[in-house]
Amino acid sequence: MNTLMDTTMTTSTLAFIIFSALALQVSIALLIWYVHRKKELKQFHASSILAENSSPPITGWRGFKPFIVQRKQVEDSAKHTCSLYLKSGDFTPLPRFFPGQFLNVKLSIPDPVTGKPKQVIRSYSLSDSPMHDTYRITVKKVPSPKAHPEYPAGLASNYLHSQIQEGDTLLITAPTGNFYLQEASTLPIVFIAGGVGITPILSMLNMLMEQNSPRDIWLFYGVRNGQEQIMATTLKQYAQNHSNFHLYLCHHQPEEHEMLGRDFHHKGNVDITLLRQILPLQRYQFYICGPQPMMNTIIPALENWGVATSDIFYEFFGPASLATPQKNTSQTTQNTTPSSTQKITVYFKKSEQNITWHPEVHSLLELAEEYGIEVDSGCRSGSCGVCQVKLESGEVEYTQPPDIDIEKGYCLLCIAQPKSDITLSA
């Protein structure tokens, strides 16, 4: 009898143990599923925000609007760079921009040869966060090339430095551009800037610092020497006051009195070797802006290192944008020109001119200029958006992907060619 009871108890105990083990396994499986599902939903939510934030809507105003130069401030020891703080001429609130975007400035400058006023349009990055009641641009004075001192210095930059004073009025467009901070992301950030390419980076960095962002932030800033550092005091204060901000000043031609470790952190250019030595191994978002040689070296090197193209954001400065490596884009573009046997007519509505397209010109902007049709233009490389005009009928194609979001029903003349008979509002 005792043996039977012992056997029954042993069987019941064993069954209880097995049942408990199965219940525990099911509970663990459900817990793992819940954690995994919660993580997926969080990632989906974050990616949805990024998707919404990845293509900013066109806001602000159309064309050029008067702004008053409220303040003018030198930003480097060499006094080659200055900032202009711009206040709306009608004192209306400023539209918020995405940190890293730029605006266009229209100037009426006396021609160096004829002395007659000449319309000049230039693009300048906004160099401060959007959390202020002014727009700030930071302009470097462009001298004559050292190898050709007989060549003229930069027309617009020198005019802004020498002629524009506090209280003067400038005509500017609303902020635009696709190079800007992905604010919804939580990934650590690596900023890489060369020379005056620091200006859009400063807009992003200031935004992060003002928000006390918890993201890990690195800045590799390459200049010739300390004389050319822009807003050096601000950058060093950020490094002292924010433990998550890591500053690396790189001088490729330091002056004799400059000391490694005190005045700069690396002798030489910013390159992939330096990045691999300094950066902990993890995923980053890279934001890069600078001259063409640096960009053409850094971007391919990052991709060869294994950085996903979706984590690399960049912007060339000035004419170098013509050599911008092709980004992945959903926009269909072609490098073909219409067949020479196909007659295509371009009608400029405002000018009331019917012109036959000929492939000897490279763009609709060049065609307009050839026939004396006045159209505002700036970068001539699909970056600034100044030459955006309404396409009232017909189709165009682009010789390269535009760097801005083109408003629906409009086209960029500087990189556009007609695919059929078209009517333009210009």
- pLDDT tens, position by position, 17-53: 666 666 666 566 555 555 444 444 333 333 333 333 4
Last residue of a domain, one of 124, 140, 172: 172
Which long-range contacts link 160-165 to residues 24+ away (Cβ below 8 Å)?
A: 160/82, 160/84, 160/105, 160/107, 161/82, 164/69, 164/72, 164/84, 165/69, 165/72
Q: By residue range, what is the domain housing residue 353?
A: 345-424
Q: Please, which pLDDT band fits residue 61 given cuts at 50, 70 and 90?
A: confident
Which of the two residues, 58 and 197, has the higher pLDDT score? 197
Asked if 162 and 231 sit in the same domain, the reply is no
Asked if 167 and 233 sit in the same domain, the reply is no
User: For position 257, what pLDDT does the model report?
Assistant: 95
Tens digit of each residue's pLDDT (9 = 90 or more) over 1-19: 444 445 455 666 666 666 6
DSSP secondary structure of 63-121: S-EEEEEEEEEE-STTS-EEEEEEEETT-PPPPP--TT-EEEEEEEEE-TTT-SEEEEE
Q: Is residue 3 part of a domain?
A: no
Residue 198 corresponds to which tokens in the numbers above? 């620091």
Asked if 77 and 165 sit in the same domain, the reply is yes
Asked if 352 and 387 sit in the same domain, the reply is yes
User: For position 125, what pLDDT does the model report?
Assistant: 95
Q: Is residue 336 part of a domain?
A: no
Alpha-carbon distance 288 to 298, whole Å?
9
Quote the DSSP letter at residue 153: P
Judged by average pLDDT, the poorest of 24-38, 334-348, 374-388 is 24-38
In this predicted structure, the answer to whether residue 339 has a pLDDT above a threshold of 60 is no
Closest C-alpha to 110, from 97, 98, 119: 119
Cβ 177 vs Cβ 205: under 8 Å: no
| Number of domains forming the structure of the chain | 3
Residue 203 phi/psi, 5° resolution? -60, -45
Alpha-carbon distance 120 to 155, whole Å?
8
CA atoms within 13 A on the CB side of 37: 6
User: pTM (2 decimals)?
Assistant: 0.74
User: For position 5, what pLDDT does the model report?
Assistant: 47
Asked if 396 and 309 sit in the same domain, the reply is no
User: For position 135, what pLDDT does the model report?
Assistant: 97
Over residues 153-182, mean pLDDT? 93
Asked if 200 and 309 sit in the same domain, the reply is yes
CATH number, domain of 113, equals: 2.40.30.10
Asked if 122 and 90 sit in the same domain, the reply is yes
DSSP secondary structure of 338-372: --TTS--EEEETTTTEEEE--TTSSSHHHHHHHTT
Q: Is residue 58 part of a domain?
A: no
Q: Is residue 29 part of a domain?
A: no
Q: Is residue 25 part of a domain?
A: no
Over residues 149-173, mean pLDDT? 90
Cβ 321 vs Cβ 383: under 8 Å: yes
Asked if 294 and 223 sit in the same domain, the reply is yes
Which of the two residues, 370 and 169, has the higher pLDDT score? 169
Judged by average pLDDT, the poorest of 19-23, 43-47, 95-99, 135-139 is 43-47
Q: Is residue 130 part of a domain?
A: yes
Q: Is residue 43 part of a domain?
A: no
Over residues 156-184, mean pLDDT? 94
* Amino acid at residue number 295: M
Asked if 194 and 280 sit in the same domain, the reply is yes
Q: Is residue 69 part of a domain?
A: yes
User: For position 40, what pLDDT does the model report?
Assistant: 40
Last residue of a domain, one of 113, 146, 172: 172
Portion of the chain with pLDDT greater than 90, in percent = 60
Asked if 262 and 382 sit in the same domain, the reply is no
Last residue of a domain, one of 147, 172, 197: 172
Please list, in sequence order, all residues whose beta carbon lies within 8 angstroms of the beta carbon of residue 53, skipping any fewer than 6 positions away.
182, 183, 184
Tens digit of each residue's pLDDT (9 = 90 or more) over 260-296: 999 999 999 999 999 999 999 999 999 999 988 899 9
User: For position 41, what pLDDT does the model report?
Assistant: 38
Asked if 312 and 387 sit in the same domain, the reply is no
CATH number, domain of 367, equals: 3.10.20.30
In this predicted structure, the answer to whether residue 99 has a pLDDT above a threshold of 80 is yes
Alpha-carbon distance 382 to 238, whole Å?
35
Asked if 411 and 357 sit in the same domain, the reply is yes
